[in-house]
Amino acid sequence: MLVLGFESSCDETGVALIEVPQTGAPRLLAQALHSQISMHQAYGGVVPELASRDHIRRVLPLTREVLAESGHALSDVDVIAYTQGPGLAGALLVGAGVAVAMAAALDKPTLGIHHLEGHLLSPFLSADAPEFPFVALLVSGGHTQLMRVDDVGQYQMLGETIDDAAGEAFDKSAKLLGLPYPGGPHLAKLALSGDPKAFDLPRPMLKSGKPDFSFAGLKTAVLTQVKRLGDAPSDQQRADLAASTQAAIVELLVRKSLLALKETGLKRLVVAGGVGANASLREQLNASCAKRGIRVHYPELSLCTDNGAMIAMAAALRLQRGMATLERDGAFAVRPRWTLGAA
């Protein structure tokens, strides 16, 4: 069976084709991605209307690219999967609309996928796929959650952020430091030449005893330091503040992940979402988990941020388990706000 997957929830248009055997691991045949980062950079963040329009421009050329690379025709596709939510309503509508229209033309069914389930299952695209059950640390631009995952579709929330997401904390702090959007990777780069102990930044809720998070106070503390440094901070001061900010975010993520692992007694951690690309986070999680006999799985670096492969993979794993609600009626609804695990 062949699954074509579309991702269009935010600022990346992703398309991928996956081959799904009856049993055994689904295989990624081809994928293509267009990032809108350079388009939104001038505005310092994602402009939803521009995002939707760009998805419209990109989705069909990317689909042609994927089909050509895989050597398959569109008529070979058996199921068309798309990101149904959460995300920007207009952006989601593009992917959903194209998927449903294409499926209607081919007389094939569609399958709406939860974006975070895509992230969560993205490590199954790597050669070293995890086994269930595991604890998942989902760290993206909009979400920060720790979950117990017993199988596809069996997600139990252990803790989440009460305010900003970890990616948001990276992005907002980076903006305060005058770095371009999206700030996470830029802040991480600047942090390389800084001293993580130079600034004493808060670790909100570090000692709450629960695997939940808060990042809003950290952003305020970074703002205070930026103001204190004045109009012309030195390169070293900026690097030090970037390194100290990253250290605070990473410490919170590591400590709370360890707490969730301890609470569940599980010995496997899966890290997914854009912030999972952060090298310092990976380094510190690896070191802390190795000491405790815990295996850590990451998606491949290129698959940490949004992509079509993770959507096609989530669909493939659902199809293999007979858990997919396939639609054929040509109707669709996107879900801009949608909690993972909610019906």
Residues of this chain that bind ligand KG4 (CB under 6 A): 10, 119, 140-142, 167, 170-171, 182-185, 188, 273-275, 277-278, 305-306
Reduced 3-state DSSP string for the chain: CEEEEEECCCCEEEEEEEECCCCCCCEEEEEEEEECHHHHHCCCCCCHHHHHHHHHHHHHHHHHHHHHHHCCCHHHCCEEEEEEECCCHHHHHHHHHHHHHHHHHHCCCEEEEEHHHHHHHHHHHCCCCCCCCEEEEEECCCCEEEEEEEECCEEEEEEEECCCCHHHHHHHHHHHCCCCCCHHHHHHHHHCCCCCCCCCCCCCCCCCCCCCECCHHHHHHHHHHHHHHCCCCCHHHHHHHHHHHHHHHHHHHHHHHHHHHHHHCCCEEEEECHHHHCHHHHHHHHHHHHHCCCEEECCCHHHCCCCHHHHHHHHHHHHHCCCCCCECCCCCCCCCCCCCCCC
Report how far residue 333's alpha carbon sits from residue 95's, in angstroms, rounded to the nearest whole number. Answer: 11
Closest to Zn ion by CB, 63 vs 140, is 140
List the single partner that 278 binds among ligand KG4, Zn ion, none, CB under 5 to 8 Å by kind.
ligand KG4
Q: Check: CB of residue 323 under 8 Å from CB of residue 153.
A: yes
List the single partner that 257 binds among Zn ion, ligand KG4, none, CB under 5 to 8 Å by kind.
none
List the single partner that 169 binds among Zn ion, ligand KG4, none, CB under 5 to 8 Å by kind.
none
Q: How far is the CB of 274 from ligand KG4 (least distance, A)?
A: 2
Closest to Zn ion by CB, 114 vs 318, is 114
Q: How far is the CB of 264 from Zn ion (least distance, A)?
A: 24
Closest to ligand KG4 by CB, 67 vs 81, is 81
Closest to ligand KG4 by CB, 72 vs 203, is 203
List the single partner that 277 binds among ligand KG4, Zn ion, none, CB under 5 to 8 Å by kind.
ligand KG4
Closest to ligand KG4 by CB, 214 vs 264, is 214
List the single partner that 102 binds among ligand KG4, Zn ion, none, CB under 5 to 8 Å by kind.
none
List the single partner that 182 binds among ligand KG4, Zn ion, none, CB under 5 to 8 Å by kind.
ligand KG4
Report how far residue 274's alpha carbon sits from residue 276's, in angstroms, rounded to the nearest whole number. Answer: 5
Q: How far is the CB of 280 from ligand KG4 (least distance, A)?
A: 8
Q: How far is the CB of 25 from ligand KG4 (least distance, A)?
A: 23
Closest to Zn ion by CB, 245 vs 307, is 307
Closest to ligand KG4 by CB, 10 vs 136, is 10
Q: How far is the CB of 283 from ligand KG4 (least distance, A)?
A: 12
List the single partner that 183 binds among Zn ion, ligand KG4, none, CB under 5 to 8 Å by kind.
ligand KG4
Closest to ligand KG4 by CB, 135 vs 250, is 250
Q: Are strands 144-151 and 134-139 parallel, antiparallel or unpaired?
A: antiparallel
Closest to ligand KG4 by CB, 188 vs 309, is 188
Q: How far is the CB of 105 from ligand KG4 (least distance, A)?
A: 29
Q: How far is the CB of 226 from ligand KG4 (least distance, A)?
A: 18
Q: How far is the CB of 273 from Zn ion (least distance, A)?
A: 6
| Residue numbers at the binding site for Zn ion (CB under 5 A) | 140, 306
Q: Check: CB of residue 308 under 8 Å from CB of residue 31.
A: yes
CA atoms in the 13 A half-sphere facing the CB of 34: 20
Q: How far is the CB of 167 from Zn ion (least distance, A)?
A: 9
Report how far residue 142's alpha carbon sits from residue 148's, in angstroms, rounded to the nearest whole number. Answer: 19
